[in-house]
Amino acid sequence: MGQKLPRSAWSCGLEAIRASHAHSPRDGSRLKAMSAKIYRPAKTAMQSGKAKTHLWVLEFDQEKPRTIDPIMGYTSSGDMRQQLRLTFESAEQAIAYAERNGIEYRVIAPKDATRKSVSYSDNFRFNRM
């Protein structure tokens, strides 16, 4: 059977949590440093259609690196904004939102895929490789 740990040994996890929250400022100075990227997502390799590629996305940049929890080994972060993903109908709406809320932003222009048309008989050509 496993050995039971005394309750006092559990406090190291709480101390780590308290230490991580002690460094987060509450005066709003973090809000001034917010930056984000605005882009239109590309089609994934598993998609044959173009669903979910017409909306524009605003994602916040990572402010501090992720940390590894010393007890469990989980990767974690104290930055909640990394979880936010805001979608907009157009790039102009996303830009207006960023400017209205004082967020520094950069717009990543979408790369339109150029499709070349080939005939069906090209699949059976002798030296197609």
Residue 19 has pLDDT above 70, yes or no: no
Neighbours of 42 (CB within 10 A): 12
Task: Determine the pLDDT at residue 53.
Answer: 81
- 64 vs 30: CA distance, rounded Å: 11
Neighbours of 19 (CB within 10 A): 9
Task: Determine the pLDDT at residue 6.
Answer: 57
Residue 34 has pLDDT above 80, yes or no: yes
**Tens of pLDDT, residues 61-99:** 888 888 888 888 898 888 888 888 999 999 999 999 999
Question: Could you tell me which of 107, 112, 103 has the C-alpha nearest to residue 31?
Answer: 103
Domain architecture of the chain: domains with CATH = 30-42+53-110 (3.30.160.190)
23-27, 52-56, 106-110: which has the highest mean pLDDT?
106-110
Task: Determine the pLDDT at residue 14.
Answer: 47
Task: Determine the pLDDT at residue 30.
Answer: 47
Higher pLDDT, 114 or 97: 97
pTM of the shown model: 0.60
